[in-house]
Amino acid sequence: MNRVIMSENEAYEFAAKWLPWISKKTGLKYDWNMKVPEIEQASQKEIDYRYNKGLPSGDAAYIPPETKLVYCGSKGDRNWIEGALIHELVHFLQDKNGMLYKGSGYGVNEIERQAYATMRDWWIETGTRNAYGLTNPALFAKAVGMSVNGAR
């Protein structure tokens, strides 16, 4: 078993701390009575097979029907994990704001663009190194296929 960089309890505290910021940054409604999603640590293999039908996936996933956020706590470093959690917490708020359902009028590109832009802004505002090792917002945006303002 790989060394755990961030425990489930630490991930939960991180989520509780940053959800209000994500709400303010994205305009997605966050109600203080809203529960933080259940957070579970899993191996990369388990995320791929249990939550992505055996296909390779990212380091974290938000599972809407279960209101669960799953992350790989032993991959990368703490900045990598925190960035992945920010990204998936955006999906949690998108879910709670009705954006993840068929017929909502929101496409996958728009949903992912908002999550990546928020993750990028978090790295910039906190001054942490992002997963791509890039500190320049324009280089990070290029790496994930976005312009600096979040458009593709």
**Model pLDDT for residues 54-69, shown as the tens digit of each residue:** 766 666 777 777 777 7
CA pair distance 13, 7, nearest whole angstrom: 10
| Residue 144 is assigned to a structural domain of this protein | no
How many domains does the chain contain in total?
A: 1
Q: What is the pLDDT of residue 151?
A: 44
Q: What does R_g of the chain's alpha carbons equal in angstroms?
A: 15
| Residue 150 is assigned to a structural domain of this protein | no
CA pair distance 128, 39, nearest whole angstrom: 23
| Residue 122 is assigned to a structural domain of this protein | no
In tens, the pLDDT along 17-43 reads 999 999 999 999 998 788 888 888 777
Residue 101 belongs to domain spanning: 8-111
| Residue 118 is assigned to a structural domain of this protein | no
Burial of 118 (0-12, 13-18, 19+ CB in 10 A): buried
| Residue 36 is assigned to a structural domain of this protein | yes
CA pair distance 68, 25, nearest whole angstrom: 22
